[in-house]
């Protein structure tokens, strides 16, 4: 969820931040997703690609972790 006002010369929906999802998007601890306070039917639609080598990267091998 984003907070605060406008920064820079563009709004959230107009700049690179829009790639993060709608400005009212919120990921909850239970795995559900809300947009503007309403739960979505398919939270997987709003999940990003895993960070390479991160804990959710299925392609990372156990030897990558230290």
Give the residue carrying structure tokens 């690179």: 16
User: Which distant-in-sequence residues (6+ apart) come within 8 Å of 36 by Cβ?
Assistant: 22, 24
Polymer length in residues for the chain: 66
46 near 36, Cβ under 8 Å? no
Q: What is the mean pLDDT of the chain?
A: 77
User: What pTM was computed for the model?
Assistant: 0.54
43 near 31, Cβ under 8 Å? yes
Q: Kindly tell me if the per-residue pLDDT of 64 is higher than 70.
A: no
Q: Kindly tell me if the per-residue pLDDT of 17 is higher than 70.
A: yes
How confident is the model at residue 63, as a pLDDT? 55
Query: What digits encode the pLDDT tens for the residues 30-61?
Result: 989 999 999 999 988 888 777 888 877 777 76
């Amino acid at each position: 969820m984003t907070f605060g006002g406008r920064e820079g010369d563009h709004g959230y929906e107009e700049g690179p931040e829009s790639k993060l999802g709608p400005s009212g998007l919120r990921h909850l601890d239970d795995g559900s997703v809300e947009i503007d306070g309403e739960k979505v039917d398919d939270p997987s639609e709003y999940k990003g690609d895993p960070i390479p080598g991160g804990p959710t990267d299925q392609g990372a091998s156990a030897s990558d972790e230290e």
